[in-house]
Amino acid sequence: MNNEWPLYEVFIRGKHGLSHRHVGSVHATDSQHAIQNARDVYTRRNEGVSIWVIPSMQIVASCPSDKDALFEPSEDKIYRHPSFFQIPDDVEAM
């Protein structure tokens, strides 16, 4: 019988109000256990104020072979980035 604890992915929001960020994984038997393990493993240095965990099995990921179709179309839309636009030097911070 396989008794291995399932894997959970751990996401932590740091103090500065940024989004939860993937930090790693833990093994745990249920969601509450996973939260506690994530706390014990990934916040030993005061890294976070909020934790999300999700069973790794439930992550839906894009397929590597779709990479070109998914991401290349945005590569030439350089006007979406602020550095595309030249602002005259005598205009102050923008």
Partner 1 sequence: MGDNTLVLGQRLSEWCGHGPAPEEDIALANIALDLIGQTRLWLDLAGNREGLGRDSDMLAYHRNPWDFKNLLLVEQPNRDFGVTMMRQFLFDTWHLETLRILSHHTDKDVRGIAQKSSKEVTYHRARSTNIVIALGDGTEKSQLRMQSALNRLYPYVGEMFMTDKDDLIDMAALRPRFDAHLSATLNKATLTKPESEFYHKGGKTGTQHSEHLSHILATMQSLPRSYPEAKW
Partner 2 sequence: MYAQMIKSEETYEDPKKLMAFQARIDDGDRIEPKDWMPKGYRKTLIRQIGQHAHSEIVGQLPEGNWITRAPSLERKAILLAKVQDEAGHGLYLYCAAETLGVSRDELTEMLLNGQMKYSSIFSYPALTWADMGVIGWLIDGAAILNQVPLQRTSYGPYARAMVRICKEESFHQRQGFDIMIKMVNGTAEQKHMAQDALNRLWYPSLMMFGPPDAESVHSEQSMRWKIKINSNDELRQKFVNQTVPQAEYLGLSIPDINLNWNERKQSYDFSQPDWSEFFDVLEGNGPASVDRIEARQAAWEDGAWVREARIAHAEKKNMAILAAE
Handedness of CA 83, 87, 93, 94 (dihedral sign): negative
**Is residue 69 part of the contact set for partner 2 (CB under 8 A)?**
no
Look up tokens 């030249």; give the residue: 86
Binding to partner 1 in span 27-56, by CB under 8 A: 27-29, 32-33, 36-37, 39-41, 44
Q: What are the tokens at 36?
A: 């506690």
Stretch that binds partner 2, among 12-20, 41-49, 71-79, 82-90 (CB under 8 A): 41-49
Are 31 and 24 contacting, i.e. CB atoms less than 8 angstroms apart? no
Binding site for partner 1 (CB under 8 A): 5, 26-29, 32-33, 36-37, 39-41, 44
